[in-house]
């Protein structure tokens, strides 16, 4: 995507279990706030720089988390629900960079995908490992 988190940046990883994104972000030197109702894999939970919150991503209040550099989401939910979550974080103004997996369940939700694509400064990509998913990216 042309940019990645660096040392000292704060990353929020929503839907983090078992911890793939959290592991990768911690290895880049980022401070990771890892959020999921399911636990992280023990080897990920032990990594320095990872703070685990056992909670639903949808229950988080952006103002309670504070400013973050990146928001990553691999939450399993309907696309419209993810869009609502993203819009809440955008409205809070506490994060500039987003990388979110949009998981289609059944038919592709073209209308919601178009709404993601219409967010200024963002793009949709079908990455190599995406199956019935798209990755929404906003870097500015």
Q: Give me the pLDDT at residue 140, please.
A: 83
Residue 140 forms part of a structural domain: no
C-alpha closest to that of 101 among 32, 3, 20, 30: 20
pLDDT, tens only, 66-91: 999 999 999 999 999 999 999 999 99
Residues 6 or more apart from 1 whose CB is under 8 A from it? 99, 125, 137, 139
Residue 1 forms part of a structural domain: no
CA dihedral over 11, 15, 17, 19, signed as positive or negative: negative
Q: Give me the pLDDT at residue 21, please.
A: 94
Residue 76 forms part of a structural domain: yes
Q: Give me the pLDDT at residue 11, please.
A: 99
Task: Return d(Cα 88, Cα 77) in angstroms, integer.
Answer: 16
Distance set, CA 111 to CA 5, 73, 107, 114 (Å): 30, 20, 11, 5
Query: What mean pLDDT do residues 96-124 have?
Result: 94
Q: Quick one: 140 exposed, middle or buried, by C-beta within 10 A (0-12, 13-18, 19+)?
A: exposed
Residue 41 forms part of a structural domain: yes
Residue 18 forms part of a structural domain: yes
Query: What mean pLDDT do residues 129-133 have?
Result: 78
Residue 139 forms part of a structural domain: no
Whether the pLDDT of residue 122 is over 90: the answer is: yes
Query: What mean pLDDT do residues 97-123 have?
Result: 94
Residue 138 forms part of a structural domain: no
The model's confidence at residue 107, banded by pLDDT at 50, 70 and 90, is: confident
**What is the Cα 89 distance to its own chain's centre?**
11
Pairing of strands 50-53, 97-103: unpaired
pLDDT, averaged across the chain: 95
Task: Return d(Cα 90, Cα 113) in angstroms, integer.
Answer: 17
Residue 57 forms part of a structural domain: yes
Query: What mean pLDDT do residues 1-19 have?
Result: 95
Whether the pLDDT of residue 42 is over 80: the answer is: yes
Split into its structural domains, the chain has a count of 1
Q: Give me the pLDDT at residue 10, please.
A: 98
CATH code, 107 = 3.40.50.150
Domain that includes residue 40, residue range: 10-132
């Amino acid at each position: 995507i042309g940019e990645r988190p660096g040392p000292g940046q704060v990353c929020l990883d929503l839907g983090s279990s078992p911890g793939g994104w959290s592991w990768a972000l911690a290895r880049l030197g980022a401070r990771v706030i890892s959020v999921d109702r399911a636990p992280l894999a023990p080897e990920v939970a032990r990594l320095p720089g990872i703070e685990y919150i056992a909670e639903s991503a949808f229950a988080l209040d952006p103002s309670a988390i504070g400013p973050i550099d990146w928001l990553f989401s691999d939450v399993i939910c309907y696309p419209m629900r993810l869009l609502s979550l993203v819009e809440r974080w955008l409205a809070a103004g506490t994060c500039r960079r987003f990388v979110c997996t949009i998981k289609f369940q059944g038919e592709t939700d073209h209308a919601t995908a178009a709404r993601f694509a219409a967010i200024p400064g963002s793009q949709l990509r079908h990455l190599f490992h995406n199956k019935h998913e798209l990755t929404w990216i906003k870097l500015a």
